[in-house]
Structure 1
């Protein structure tokens, strides 16, 4: 590599990737297309490689470009985070971006947010309901809370938070609501909502075998609200963590199925990106609130 890339080159490169074409990136950045093209050629010259394959339909990343897009995005996110920390030090303004599982959003999150805003009233908080390891590794999120994976991707740090049991749940009028034998439920309609069911099946061989033997394949949805509607109105069964069963105990019933696995929940974040002071404060409040979920 002849020289280190400049920040402006990284920003333009990322914008071209985000927009999918030089024309759209030029429009978004308020620059001319020749200027954008020139910057990209300079960047490729510095890196001694081609980053894009250009065509009338837009641009496609080369293998080198696919590697560089991850690293350059991480660099820009780290610089932004450094600026946020310095601004927080002097003005108490900061930004925190997290992904929180449904179990937190529907139980302790209101309490946590109330305490967080009392302690850091000038912090802007962004919350999404799920995350990808790539988002964490790229620095797009400060941390995420979800069921603890069996194998943690390289580059991520982990802090266990709480453990809770799983229940098979049905609506109060389900014809098999009194069943206590899992094998008798192979002919029922099942669904997987959120991450919990899939994680539990991966970790528990008994459950994995059971779901392979279902007469009808389960329905998959990322939306817990969709799953609950199907349980309540269409006689589906699902696996649900115990705190959410308590939350919806007026409409749901737990079947007395023995020996179901427990799930461990954890916070994860990039090892190479220490949590900012405001993100540490939020995680501390979540950790304290999670004690009631065990």
Structure 2
């Protein structure tokens, strides 16, 4: 039978990549440097290749190391999830759930939802990662995220995922109340406006930018790109920027009295919200509980339905 690496050797390899050198990795794992070095040498002996080499700034991956690293990450993540799932099955309220979501749910419904979920499951550890799908697809593929809910990106291959189409939601142009362009009825009247766009230049948001600037941006167009609703809010309220967001943004309690929809006649394309997770990974019991609540909360927020 072929000799296989030990879990500790894989963790040592992962730690050196993360910390950049043997000394820091050894300290993080409470090992001595000689023990860490011996572990990596034994791993390389088993594999028959060199994984790490010394560089000017510390340890760097060799070509073989770059091939091996994502496999190690996936294997260790899956093993941790398997152990966690068994713990969850034996202790219903315990376990870890890490999921990704787009910005509006993270900014609006999720804080209170997670708080309520945590009260019912006090031993659960919940981690939320905010971002668009194109930003989070890598950690989803590596198994670092249990699931993702947000706007689809058609250019991303979904063959390895279970994907559920959840709902469509309407987008609109938003300005602060009293903005000189807040009553404009057409996109043509918004020439010269200052815009805040998501930094994502793909999928739905790339289409939105093309919709606003069908002939491309002109020199007088000021556009700032970013992925923070907080920054978007400040630019809108304090610097007279316009931004594009789901219509449900108008109902966020902290800002709804300060912003308004620009009533242009052109209808912006709707966005499809999806839920996805790796087919091979499945969902832990705790993740299944949470996912139902997240879907329902997002549906109510984005489709104007009351819970």
Q: Same fold (TM over 0.5)?
A: yes
Query: Given that residues 197 and 244 in structure 2 are in contact (C-alpha distance below 8 angstroms), is that contact kept between their aligned partners in structure 1?
Result: yes
Give the match for residue 173 of structure 2: 168
Query: Given that residues 171 and 232 in structure 1 are in contact (C-alpha distance below 8 angstroms), is that contact kept between their aligned partners in structure 2?
Result: yes
Give the match for residue 10 of structure 2: 10
Query: Given that residues 107 and 243 in structure 1 are in contact (C-alpha distance below 8 angstroms), is that contact kept between their aligned partners in structure 2?
Result: no
Give the match for residue 139 of structure 1: 143
Q: Residue 86 and residue 236 in structure 1: after superposition, are their counterparts in 2 closer, same or farther (change >3 A)?
A: same
Q: Provide Cα deviations, 1:63-97, integer angstroms capped at 9, x if missing partner.
A: 22122111111111111111111111112211111
Q: Residue 58 and residue 106 in structure 1: after superposition, are their counterparts in 2 closer, same or farther (change >3 A)?
A: closer
Gaps of 5+ in 2: none
5 Å-filtered alignment, 1:121-200, equals 121-130=122-131, 132-153=136-157, 155-193=160-198, 199-200=203-204
Give the match for residue 258 of structure 2: 251
Aligned with 2:287 (options 275, 279, 282): 279
Shift, 1:220, TM fit: 1.1
SS of the residue corresponding to residue 239 of structure 1 reads strand
CA distance in 2, matches of 1:267, 1:42: 42
Q: Residue 214 and residue 159 in structure 1: after superposition, are their counterparts in 2 closer, same or farther (change >3 A)?
A: farther
Shift, 1:21, TM fit: 0.5
Give the match for residue 82 of structure 1: 82
TM-score where L is the length of structure 1 = 0.91
Q: Residue 194 and residue 246 in structure 1: after superposition, are their counterparts in 2 closer, same or farther (change >3 A)?
A: farther
Give the match for residue 97 of structure 1: 98
Give the match for residue 72 of structure 1: 72
CA distance in 1, matches of 2:212, 2:81: 42
Query: Given that residues 152 and 204 in structure 2 are in contact (C-alpha distance below 8 angstroms), is that contact kept between their aligned partners in structure 1?
Result: no
Give the match for residue 53 of structure 1: 53
Query: Given that residues 198 and 205 in structure 2 are in contact (C-alpha distance below 8 angstroms), is that contact kept between their aligned partners in structure 1?
Result: no
The answer to whether the aligner puts 1:112 opposite 2:116 as a matched pair is no
TM-score where L is the length of structure 2 = 0.87
Aligned with 2:237 (options 232, 237, 246): 232
The answer to whether the aligner puts 1:260 opposite 2:268 as a matched pair is yes
Query: Given that residues 116 and 281 in structure 1 are in contact (C-alpha distance below 8 angstroms), is that contact kept between their aligned partners in structure 2?
Result: no
RMSD in angstroms over aligned alpha carbons?
Answer: 2.2
Query: Given that residues 136 and 270 in structure 1 are in contact (C-alpha distance below 8 angstroms), is that contact kept between their aligned partners in structure 2?
Result: yes
SS of the residue corresponding to residue 293 of structure 2 reads helix
Q: Residue 56 and residue 178 in structure 1: after superposition, are their counterparts in 2 closer, same or farther (change >3 A)?
A: closer
Query: Given that residues 88 and 284 in structure 2 are in contact (C-alpha distance below 8 angstroms), is that contact kept between their aligned partners in structure 1?
Result: no
CA distance in 2, matches of 1:211, 1:249: 31
Shift, 1:211, TM fit: 5.3
